[in-house]
Amino acid sequence: MKSGKLYDFRLMAVKKSGSVWTKSGWSKVNYRFFATVKQKLSPRKKAFSVKLKKVKKASGYDVIYAMNKSMSARKTKTVKGAKRVKIKVKGLEPKKKYIVTSMPYKMYKGHKYIGILCKTKKVKTR
C-alpha cells in the first residue's frame, strides 16, 4: 500500500471442514485512505484544542474523543476542509481527562475514504 492512495476492498471467510471448503458471502465494500495525521493537544477552560499536521489530498479530519480508554461513549467532531488544522472542542466538563485520537478522510465519488487513526493522547480540561 502506498501513502496517500485510496483503496476499496471486500472480505470473504473461507473454512475447511475435512476435505470440503466452504465460503461465506462477501462483506460490504470498505473504503480506506492510506494516510495518518499527527496531533497536538492543548487544554482550555471546559474545552481543549487540537492542532493537526496537514495531510496532502485530505478532504477533512475526524477528531474522536471520550472519557475512557475503551472509547465506548465516544463523540466525533468532523472538520470539513483540509486547510483548517486547528480545532476547538467546546462544552466539556471541567477538570476531566479525555482520550483523543484523529484521522484524515478523503471524499471521492460520493464515498468517504477513512484514514488511519493516530496515536491516542490524553488531555485534561481546566
d(CA 86, CA 39): 10
pLDDT in tens, 1-14: 888 999 999 999 99
* CA-atom Rg of the chain in angstroms: 18
Question: What pLDDT is attached to residue 46?
Answer: 96
Q: Are 115 and 58 in contact (CB under 8 A)?
A: yes
Q: Are 52 and 37 in contact (CB under 8 A)?
A: yes
Domain borders along the chain are 34-124
* % of the chain with per-residue pLDDT over 90: 87
Record: fold of 34-124: Immunoglobulin-like (2.60.40)
Specify the pTM.
0.85
Q: Which residues of the chain have pLDDT under 70?
A: none
